[in-house]
A and B are shown apart, each in its own frame.
Chain A
Amino acid sequence: MTTTERPDLSWLDEVTMADLERNPYATYERLRAEAPLAYVPVLGSYVASTEEVCREIATSPDFEAVITPAGGRTFGHPAVIGVNGDVHADLRTMIEPALQPAEVDRWIEDLVRPIARRYLEQFEADGQAELVAQFCEPVSVRSLGDLLGLQDVESDKLREWFAKLSRSFTNAAMTEDGEFANPEGFVEGDEAKAEIRSIVDPLIDKWIARPDDSAISHWLHDGMPPGQTRDREYIYPTIYVYLLGAMQEPGHGMASTLVGLFSRPEQLEEVVDDPTLVPRAIAEGVRWTSPIWSATARISTKPVTVAGVDLPEGTAVMMSYGSANHDTGRYEAPTTYDLHRPPLPHLAFGAGNHACAGIYFANHTMRIALEELFEAIPNLERDTREGVEFWGWGFRGPTSLHVTWEV
């Protein structure tokens, strides 16, 4: 195919970051229909928007991982999401032991259930709550925070960090000359990182001297010759990956699942009545509104043709998993939350050798949290006096979720 035969994509010039963050679906729907692999000027990058093209690129031997420019500016190097070869293998070897299913099974119940109970106790007698801030996010950050060894960092501080890192990471707008369009958008991320270092550095000092069973302590010591630890500069970018995505996304996933269920009251009732449906409800929740909507990328390692588009070596492509999960070629009425849709695999956790390392942990954290929520408040209703707004292009979820119940 030559360039002249391609559909006219000049409408893409009008698309702004703010549009995408408010609601990316319309733009991506059009991309899926007209150009499943397209150059999107505001992002300064190619974008893969269908299920097929995302999966093909994520699992292709002709592509490897690359971090997006705003992501790289936020995390620094070597972040696990943006490295390949031996460094990627070493970082995966470092983080995986704590996330292996058999390992997670050992402690996940004892870790998450008491945390969920503790937050529920703070409001279950109130008859109303805002679940994103009072439940979904706190349970998400506290569970992972305790696993990492950050017991002494308040949940609200962890929430503040992921929010700042998240906005910085997705400050993706580029000028025509390939410069960041809003460099000031990185300031709050830099401030968060400075604060993180001031708190985590002393902990690292402690773990170097006295290893314990926390995940970060293991990252420092595991697989290293006696007396040596991994350099902290080497692990910080991956600590930031955790303090952003791994902290934020289980909360997004829970909240989106709840909003989806509220849109189908009979399905909510089914799930409340039969907690064994919670995992299925969550799988559909993260398909319906994918928490990591478009945050990771791949880069071609040689000239390739994908979806009829010739890409030279070194072309970066953003993976729009949130769009792929709304692909009408694969899902009927993808914009509807439906617990009972044919349960085809989705791409909410990505694909290929950079697929999410925390799937098992994340799924079980979300499961236990929702089980406890429905157990404590089986008569939960959405507070219809308040609307529900979703926000985000890189990462997406409801900004708040007001609920009521009879007490």
Chain B
Amino acid sequence: MTFAVTVGGRSVECDEDQALLDACLRAGVWMPNSCNQGTCGTCKLHVVAGEVDHGSSPVETLSDEERCAGMALACQARPRGDVELRPQGTSAARTANPLRDMVATVREVSDIARDTRRILLGLNEPLTFDAGQYVELVVPGSGERRQYSLANTADEDKVLELHVKLVPGGVATHGWLFDGLAEGDEVDISGPLGDFHLPPESEDDGGPMVLIGGGTGLAPLVGIVRTALRRHPEREVVLYHGVRGEEELYDGERLTELAGQYPNFRFVPVLSHEPVDGYREGFPTDAFVEDVSTARGWTGWLCGPPAMVEAGVKSFKRRRMAPRNIHREKFTPADG
């Protein structure tokens, strides 16, 4: 008899007389372990669903209270049916904003920069989300789905704001969003999705932040900076917007206005390929390295093309930002 053992989203087969740890390790699913004889406690974990036989788990390593609380030693316990496990120390997934399918109505389509559009989608019901999350749009006729980040703050919950960049030949952009999409159209969407958002307000200590957006990677950052500054008006925030040339810049006024309102917020547009007097030149991730001597204690936010996000991680680490404080959203192509 074999059962399914699920841990961290992966499922492996486990014989009824096989230890959970053994089944996982053989399937290449790592979990902490050391002694494999029930004496060290390294492999202790939570049984979230299903039942296990504790086998010869010693009470010294796994107390009765721990058994009652649903803990087990993976190197000793055998499954009695399908079980779901959670490694120790990883807290249960935060209560996420519920994912919904909705029909939205196009409110406005405007060209805001070269090959760049702002699309506003009206909802019948407000959407609960965190600034920085994204929604998925169903491309009419094709059944394809594409992701677009929300530029909104959480209270702007009835009209969603998207920034979309044209991809030549692209199914969603070239074939639809830049060709034929009109005010009043209905669009099937799902959301919110993603973990690119600030921590809950109670856990946000108001520490310094740097955000780098490449092209329409600016979108979620517009929602995030406004939320962050509203929470802590004095906090130090630097936002870089990297594009190829001046014609691709947008929302400059909106962000400059924000900088007027919040003394410690700086907005820095950076042009990589078509230099113009009065603008920073190069890649935004290099501009950051030039400007900031140490980012210890900062949080970092990177959004845009995968290569830019990778470069940003390197820049942040060079300035000694802790990697766990580096948040990343990659605009990976659907076929990528």
Q: Which residues of A contact B (CB under 8 A)?
A: 96, 100-102, 272-276, 279-280, 283, 342-345, 349, 351-352, 355-356, 359-360, 363, 374-379, 405-407
Show 12 A/B contacts (Cβ-Cβ < 8 Å), sorted by A.
A96-B60, A101-B41, A272-B317, A274-B323, A342-B25, A344-B25, A349-B34, A349-B35, A349-B40, A352-B37, A378-B323, A405-B320
Chain A nearest CB, measured from B14 CB (Å): 16
Neighbour of B25 across the interface among A274, A275, A345, A363, CB < 8 A? A345
Q: Report whether over half of chain B's contact residues are helix, strand or loop; otherwise say mixed.
A: loop
A351 to B40, CA, bound (A): 11
Q: Is the CB of B61 within 8 A of A100?
A: yes
Given contacts A279-B32, A359-B40, contact A273 B66 (CB under 8 A): no
Q: Is the CB of B322 within 8 A of A375?
A: yes
Chain B residues near A351 (CB-CB < 8 A): 35, 37
Neighbour of B35 across the interface among A273, A355, A376, CB < 8 A? A355
B63 adjacent to chain A (CB < 8 Å): yes
Q: In chain A, what residue has the closest Cβ to B89?
A: A276
Chain B residues near A100 (CB-CB < 8 A): 41, 60-61
Contact with A along B4-32 (1 / 0, CB 8 A): 00000000000000000000011010101
Chain B: interface residue total (CB-CB under 8 A): 32
B33 adjacent to chain A (CB < 8 Å): yes
Chain B residues near A405 (CB-CB < 8 A): 320
A280 to B24, CA, bound (A): 14
Q: Is the CB of B323 within 8 A of A272?
A: yes
Chain A residues near B66 (CB-CB < 8 A): 102
Chain B residues near A406 (CB-CB < 8 A): 318
Neighbour of B320 across the interface among A349, A352, A379, CB < 8 A? A379
Q: Is the CB of A363 within 8 A of B34?
A: yes
Chain B nearest CB, measured from A373 CB (Å): 11
Chain B residues near A378 (CB-CB < 8 A): 316-317, 320-323
Chain B nearest CB, measured from A289 CB (Å): 16
Q: Is the CB of A345 within 8 A of B44?
A: no
A377 to B321, CA, bound (A): 8
Chain A residues near B324 (CB-CB < 8 A): 275, 375
A280 to B8, CA, bound (A): 15
Q: Is the CB of A343 within 8 A of B317?
A: no
Q: In chain A, what residue has the closest Cβ to B328?
A: A273
B42 adjacent to chain A (CB < 8 Å): yes
A351 to B38, CA, bound (A): 11
Chain A residues near B326 (CB-CB < 8 A): 273
Q: Is the CB of B42 within 8 A of A379?
A: no
Chain B nearest CB, measured from A313 CB (Å): 26
A342 to B36, CA, bound (A): 16
B313 adjacent to chain A (CB < 8 Å): yes
